């Protein structure tokens, strides 16, 4: 008898095919990426690094990991990379473990203003292990205030400054942040999990030349398997006085590798690394740049269409793939909107807006993102239509018939934008 797990996978493939996917951190990985993930590489233990493993039988997975490393270096202009983090959270935990001792100071972007959980939230190990101060956005513009960051850095004297966000619709000024870090003698770490694909396509500022260390996930705008990476534009001698048995200073890369394994991880997921290698190869193709350009163009069209319909778009627009709506003038919480839209076949997430009077599980806003539907082939006109559907649902919150009608309309509309997956949702090796 077929395991019911496969029934649920089939149902999830239908959900993904028949609805509008607007969660900014999600995307549709290619069948080749999914095939690599579903491969026999799942079966292999390979603790260590290519050529230096603690297990036999690693010749082929070594080649796969080397390919992932070389492609990632080429994508971002990195001198050193580690492709083994199971996800962004592990990449960040390893970097902080390498750079900080418990109790040392971290200055990072406030979660409630759009930051990441793993950048010092009290709920995360980073907030429990290190002394954390946050910077936020200005209450009048919802934009980062680099003078405030400099003031806080001068007062707090952090050892690490982290930048990067999960819901900030604007680009980052890494050069200014590096000048702040240099002034106070801090390491600068960027987490580019969200905009990585747009940075790889050279459409947003590249942090690699400015930051000591850069982390990312691989499944958002980069459109790969779920996973993380750590990179450095340039390796450097570790400043902690750690030496090799020969007495020479260990490179920072050695400390980062060791912080990840055996610091916080065991065996790497070789099937995930294979998926990363495939995705990085795809991102190096010229077609990926066109995709990334469309992601940004579509986000701007979506923001503009929503503004024209009376919605409050935070910061007045977007530089990247994210559009943040403050729904207070519509009399709805983010939670209400998320539920109503889901009934109509539109998937979004409720999102705190900076200085939100609501708690996180209610929130005053929603976050929209264009990466997934752009992968399906949506253009600006399609996104203007998406804005119309969102508006129709949110303007008639008590009308279940509107939601039913729109759900059907979306399902029919999406038939012209098929996903490249079989109906079972299980991709065979190609």
Provide the annotated active-site residues.
Answer: 45, 47, 191, 217, 220, 226
> Are residues 359 and 387 in contact, defined by beta-carbon separation less than 8 angstroms?
no
CB contact at 8 A, 33 and 278: yes
φ/ψ of residue 87, rounded to 5: -165, 180
- Binding ligand DSN (rule: CB under 6 A), the pick from 75, 95, 193, 199 is 193
- Shortest Cβ 91–ligand DSN spacing (Å): 11
Contact set for ligand DSN, span 21-40 (CB under 6 A): 25
Copy the structure tokens of residue 170: 């604007």
Q: Are 400 and 330 in contact (CB under 8 A)?
A: no
Nearer to ligand DSN, 29 or 255 (CB): 29
Residues 80-119 that bind ligand DSN (CB under 6 A): 88, 116
Alpha-carbon distance of 307 to 317, in angstroms, equals: 9
Choose between 196 and 340: whose C-beta lies nearer to ligand DSN.
196
CB of residue 117 to ligand DSN, shortest distance in Å = 7
386: which 2 tokens?
A: 């998406």
CA 124 to each of CA 111, 118, 355: distance values in angstroms, whole numbers, following the listed order: 11, 6, 21
Q: Specify whether the CB–CB gap between 193 and 231 falls below 8 A.
A: no
160 binds ligand DSN per the rule CB under 6 A: no
CA distance 92 to 96: 6
How many residues touch ligand DSN under the rule CB under 6 A: the total is: 5
Site string for ligand DSN, 35-74 (x = CB under 6 A): ----------------------------------------
3-state secondary structure of 109: strand
Within 10 Å of residue 241's Cβ, how many Cβ atoms? 8
Query: Shortest gap between Cβ of 25 and ligand DSN (angstroms)?
Result: 3
Closer of 84 and 166 to ligand DSN (Cβ): 166
- Alpha carbon 307 to its chain centroid, in Å, reads 25
Give the β-pairing of 80-82 and 105-109: unpaired
Q: How far is the CB of 3 from ligand DSN (least distance, A)?
A: 29
The reply on whether position 197 binds ligand DSN by CB under 6 A is: no
What's the number of CA atoms in the CB half-sphere (13 Å) around residue 312?
15
166: contact with ligand DSN by CB under 6 A: yes
**Residue 14 contacts residue 207 (beta carbons within 8 Å):** no
Site for ligand DSN in 214-273 (CB under 6 A): none
Closest distance between ligand DSN and the C-beta of residue 50, in Å?
28
State in angstroms the smallest separation of the CB of 88 from ligand DSN.
Answer: 5
CB of 28 to ligand DSN, least distance (A): 16
Which residue's structure tokens are 């900076």?
A: 354
Cα 10 to Cα 31, 306, 376, distances in angstroms: 15, 33, 19
Strand partners, 132: 106
Q: Where are the alpha helices (DSSP H) in 157-269?
A: 174-184, 196-200, 252-258
- Residue ranges binding ligand DSN (CB under 6 A): 25, 88, 116, 166, 193
């Amino acid at each position: 008898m077929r395991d019911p797990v496969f029934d649920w996978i089939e149902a999830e493939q239908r959900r993904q095919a028949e609805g509008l996917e607007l969660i900014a951190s999600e995307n549709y990985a290619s069948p080749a990426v999914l095939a690599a993930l579903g491969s026999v590489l799942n079966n292999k233990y390979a603790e260590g690094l290519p050529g230096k493993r603690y297990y036999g039988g690693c010749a082929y997975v070594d080649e796969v990991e080397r390919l992932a490393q070389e492609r990632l270096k080429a994508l971002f202009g990195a001198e050193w990379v580690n492709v083994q983090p199971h996800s962004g959270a592990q990449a960040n935990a390893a970097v902080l473990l390498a750079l900080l001792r418990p109790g040392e100071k971290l200055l990072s972007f406030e979660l409630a203003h759009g930051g990441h959980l793993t950048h010092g939230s009290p709920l995360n190990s980073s907030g429990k292990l290190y002394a954390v101060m946050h910077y936020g956005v200005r209450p009048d513009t919802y934009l980062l205030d680099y003078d405030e960051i400099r003031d806080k850095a001068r007062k707090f004297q952090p050892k690490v400054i982290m930048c990067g966000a999960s819901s900030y619709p604007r680009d980052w000024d890494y050069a200014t942040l590096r000048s702040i870090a240099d002034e106070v003698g801090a390491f600068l770490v960027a987490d580019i999990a969200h905009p990585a694909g747009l940075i790889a396509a050279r459409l947003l500022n590249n942090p690699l030349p400015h930051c000591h260390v850069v982390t990312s996930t691989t499944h958002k705008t980069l459109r790969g398997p779920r996973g993380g990476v750590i990179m450095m534009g340039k390796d450097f001698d570790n400043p902690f006085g750690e030496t090799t048995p020969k007495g020479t200073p260990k490179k920072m890369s050695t400390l980062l590798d060791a912080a990840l394994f055996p610091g916080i991880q065991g065996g790497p997921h070789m099937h995930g690394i294979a998926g990363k290698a495939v995705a990085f190869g795809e991102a190096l193709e010229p077609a990926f740049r066109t995709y990334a350009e469309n992601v940004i163009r579509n986000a701007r069209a979506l923001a503009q269409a929503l503004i024209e319909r009376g919605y409050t778009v935070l910061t007045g627009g977007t530089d990247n793939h994210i559009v943040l709506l403050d729904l207070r003038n519509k009399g709805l919480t983010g939670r209400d909107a998320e539920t109503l839209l889901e009934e109509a076949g539109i998937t979004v997430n409720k999102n705190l807006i900076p200085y939100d009077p609501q708690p996180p599980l209610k929130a005053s806003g929603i976050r929209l993102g264009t990466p997934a539907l752009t992968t399906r082939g949506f253009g600006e006109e399609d996104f203007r239509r998406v804005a119309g559907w969102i508006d129709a649902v949110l303007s008639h919150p008590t009308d279940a018939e509107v939601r039913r009608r729109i759900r059907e309309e979306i399902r029919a509309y999406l038939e012209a934008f098929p996903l490249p997956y079989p109906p079972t949702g299980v991709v065979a090796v190609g």
